[in-house]
Amino acid sequence: PKEPSGSLSADSIKIKKEVANAFVKRKKRSSPYEWYFEYYKSPMEQMHERCENYPPCDYLSDQVGFALAYNRFFG
């Protein structure tokens, strides 16, 4: 069913969990190394997320680069 604006409603695009699992499979982790890095982020990734979550830092990183923006606000 389409809404008056022409877009599909949220109910029309939902699918059952069983159907979704038929074509979306999770990759199995084979080593403890892969398990570790799935749950624990590197310090650099944590720094990027901290900067992305602070709008002035995120904006400045687009202008001058991540390293300079991060040092300006958190360094």
DSSP one-letter string for 3-38? -TTSSBPHHHH---HHHHHHH--PPPP-SHHHHHHH
Residue 44 corresponds to which amino acid?
M
**Which is more confidently placed, 44 or 33?**
44
pLDDT of residue 35: 73
pLDDT of residue 8: 66
pLDDT of residue 40: 83
Distance CA 70, CA 73 (A): 5
pTM of the model: 0.51
**pLDDT averaged over every residue in the chain:** 80
pLDDT in tens, 18-28: 676 666 666 66
CA angle 58, 59, 64 (to 5 degrees): 95
- % the chain with pLDDT above 90: 41
